[in-house]
C-alpha cells in the first residue's frame, strides 16, 4: 500500500493504484472495487443447481465491472475451488459475492483468492502458478 499525494489524502491505495474501498457518493457506506472481491454470477450458481435461498445477505455495493456503475450483490456464498489434476491439486474455500447480472465469465477471482492459493499470475503469457503438494501447479489462460 502507498499513501496518496498529500497528508490530507491519507487513505492508502493498493500497488495498482485503485482503492479497495472508497466512500459511497450517496453517503450509504463504502463501495468495494472488484479486484478486492471474488465474484460469481447468479446465473452460474443457478446453472450449478445451487439453492439460492442459502445465500448469506450482503448489502455492500461494489464497482469496477461496468464503468461508472455500481452493483449490490444478491448475497454471498462460500464454495470450494480446486486447481490441478488428480495427482497434484489444491482446494480452498472461497467466499464469493453473488452478482445479479451476467457477463461472458462464470466468476471473477480477485486478490483474496490469489493470496489464499499463494498464486502468481503473469498477465503477458496468462499462466497462473501456485504451490501444491507435489510441485508447482501451472494453469494456462485461454482467451
**What CATH number does residue 92 fall under?**
2.40.70
Given this model, what pLDDT does residue 14 score?
36
Stated pTM of the model: 0.72
Assess if residue 136 is contained within a domain.
Answer: no
Assess if residue 126 is contained within a domain.
Answer: no
Assess if residue 130 is contained within a domain.
Answer: no
Assess if residue 140 is contained within a domain.
Answer: no
Given this model, what pLDDT does residue 8 score?
36
Assess if residue 139 is contained within a domain.
Answer: no
Given this model, what pLDDT does residue 34 score?
53
Given this model, what pLDDT does residue 16 score?
37
Assess if residue 44 is contained within a domain.
Answer: yes
Low-confidence ranges of the chain (pLDDT < 70): 1-34, 143
Instruction: Report the alpha-carbon distance of residue 36 to residue 18 in Å, rounded.
Output: 10
**Distance of CA 85 to CAs 92, 105, 114, Å?**
15, 22, 18
Given this model, what pLDDT does residue 4 score?
36
Closest to 35 in 3D by CA, of 9, 53, 17:
17
The C-alpha torsion from 122 through 17 and 32 to 48, rounded to 10°, is -10
Given this model, what pLDDT does residue 24 score?
45
Instruction: Report the alpha-carbon distance of residue 15 to residue 59 in Å, rounded.
Output: 27
Full domain range(s) for residue 20: 2-117
Residues in a beta bridge with 129: 120, 138
Assess if residue 128 is contained within a domain.
Answer: no
Q: Angle at CA 124, nearest 5°, toward 86 and 82? A: 20
Instruction: Report the alpha-carbon distance of residue 39 to residue 108 in Å, rounded.
Output: 5
Assess if residue 102 is contained within a domain.
Answer: yes
Given this model, what pLDDT does residue 143 score?
66
pLDDT digits (tens, 9 = 90+) for 80-120: 999 999 999 999 999 999 988 888 888 888 899 999 999 99
Number of domains composing the chain? 1
Amino acid at each position: 500500500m502507498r499513501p496518496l499525494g498529500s497528508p490530507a489524502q491519507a487513505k492508502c491505495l493498493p500497488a495498482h493504484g485503485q482503492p479497495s474501498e472508497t466512500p459511497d457518493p450517496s453517503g450509504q457506506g463504502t463501495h468495494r472495487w472488484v479486484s478486492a472481491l471474488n465474484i460469481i454470477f447468479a446465473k452460474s450458481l443457478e446453472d450449478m443447481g445451487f439453492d439460492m435461498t442459502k445465500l448469506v445477505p450482503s448489502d455492500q455495493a461494489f464497482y469496477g465491472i461496468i464503468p461508472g456503475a455500481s452493483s449490490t450483490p444478491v448475497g454471498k456464498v462460500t464454495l470450494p475451488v480446486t486447481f490441478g489434476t488428480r495427482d497434484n491439486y489444491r482446494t480452498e474455500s472461497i467466499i464469493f459475492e453473488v452478482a445479479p447480472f451476467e457477463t461472458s465469465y462464470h466468476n471473477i477471482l480477485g486478490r483474496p483468492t490469489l493470496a489464499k492459493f499463494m498464486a502468481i499470475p503473469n498477465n503477458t503469457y496468462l499462466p497462473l502458478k501456485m504451490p501444491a503438494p507435489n510441485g508447482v501447479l501451472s494453469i494456462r489462460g485461454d482467451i
